[in-house]
Amino acid sequence: MNREDFKKLMNEKRKGGGKFGKWYGFVGEVEGKYIEIKAFKTWLQIFRVDGRNYFGGMDVSVAVFNETLLKPFI
């Protein structure tokens, strides 16, 4: 999966909600990086890439959320 497909998938999950409210997750490989995510709306509570922890603020805008998702690829 490339970074743009990853960003699109995460935004679909963010909007989806599902039976557990707005919590969602992701575990997989994106452009050779192993990514683990546990999130609520735009809050990336756990955002780990190749064992390194990244972070995102609570209740951030969608634009900031998308920027945070792409930080490990810069």
15: nearest Cα among 36, 42, 52: 42
Structure pTM?
A: 0.87
What is the chain's length?
74
Predicted local distance difference test score (pLDDT) of residue 47: 97
* Single-letter residue type at 69: L
Residue that is written with structure tokens 């998938």 in the block? 9
Residue that is written with structure tokens 């805008």 in the block? 61
Residue 74 has pLDDT above 90, yes or no: no
pLDDT in tens, 12-65: 999 986 665 689 999 999 999 999 999 999 999 999 999 999 988 898 999 999
Strand-pair partners of 53? 48
CA separation for the pair 67, 17 (Å, rounded) = 21
